[in-house]
């Protein structure tokens, strides 16, 4: 596997950025980055303050969940992250949050349709609900792996939180922010009790084609522009 230190440093800086922005709170949620050789991933430790976290606290695991490095216990959701990486070769970063507005939609089981151009371009056709499964269990890992196959990059986990993917960390954080914007807008629109309009299907499908091209470039190991 590649240099552990670079992966661990990226986890720390990104988790702390997400905490400062209010997407990660207390010790909830987790962040992982896949090694470039696909042999494993680095993930945040279990139940530890993100703002106190140091690179040595970040755990490195292989794809059989053997711990290769790290001074702390890995997140209880490590199995879920591993299952996602196995199901989605285009995903290199996973962010699981309990961000407020998106998490609220999980309580009312309200998947987000294609409301905005940028949502369709970066998150996919829609933001679907993954049925509830207990945290840290094999049932959760298998349930999530079943639902994330395809091309969508954001999901709502029923009565739990969110899952957001990226081809790299910059894109993943960008997608977390888009998801929260869409969630807040959708919640307010639902409260109005008026019809919620969607972007035209043709525009949604054009955006999806661009997203699929991004994902194929990642799978093939080709460079891509995260800001396209």
Q: DSSP for the chain, please give it.
A: ---HHHHHHHHHHHHHHHHHTTSS-TT--EEEEE-TTSSEEEEPBTT--GGG--GGGSEEEETT--EEE-SSPBPTTHHHHHHHHHH-TT--EEEEE--HHHHHHHHTT--B---SHHHHHHT-S-BEEEPP--TTSHHHHHHHHHHH-SS--EEEETTTEEEEEESSHHHHHHHHHHHHHHHHHHHHHHHTTSPPP---HHHHHHHHHHHHHHHHHHHHT----TT-
Residues in the chain: 228
Is 193 an active-site residue?
A: no
Q: Which residues on adjacent β-strands are paired with residue 32?
A: 43, 94
d(CA 170, CA 32): 13
How many Å is the Cα radius of gyration of the chain?
17
Q: Which of 2, 10, 71, 77 is catalytic?
A: 77
Which of the residues are catalytic? Answer: 77
């Amino acid at each position: 596997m590649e240099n552990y230190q670079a992966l661990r440093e990226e986890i720390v800086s990104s988790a702390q950025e997400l905490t400062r922005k209010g997407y990660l709170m207390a010790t909830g949620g987790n962040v992982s980055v896949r090694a470039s050789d696909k042999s494993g991933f680095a993930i945040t430790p279990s139940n530890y303050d993100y703002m106190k976290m140091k690179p040595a606290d970040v755990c490195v695991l292989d794809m059989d969940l053997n711990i290769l490095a790290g001074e702390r216990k890995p997140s209880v959701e490590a199995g879920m992250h591993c299952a996602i990486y196995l199901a989605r070769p285009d995903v290199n970063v996973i962010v699981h949050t309990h961000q407020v507005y998106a998490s609220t939609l999980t309580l009312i089981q309200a998947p987000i349709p294609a409301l905005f151009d940028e949502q369709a371009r970066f998150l996919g056709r829609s933001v679907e609900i993954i049925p509830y499964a207990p945290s840290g269990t094999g049932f959760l890992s298998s349930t999530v792996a079943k639902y994330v196959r395809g091309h969508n990059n954001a999901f709502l986990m029923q009565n739990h939180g969110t899952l957001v993917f990226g081809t790299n960390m910059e894109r993943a954080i960008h997608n977390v922010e888009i998801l929260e914007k869409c969630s807040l807008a959708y919640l307010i629109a639902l409260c109005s009790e008026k019809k919620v309009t969607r972007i035209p299907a043709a525009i949604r499908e054009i955006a999806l084609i661009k997203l699929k091209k991004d994902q194929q470039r990642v799978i093939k190991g080709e460079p891509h522009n995260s800001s396209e």
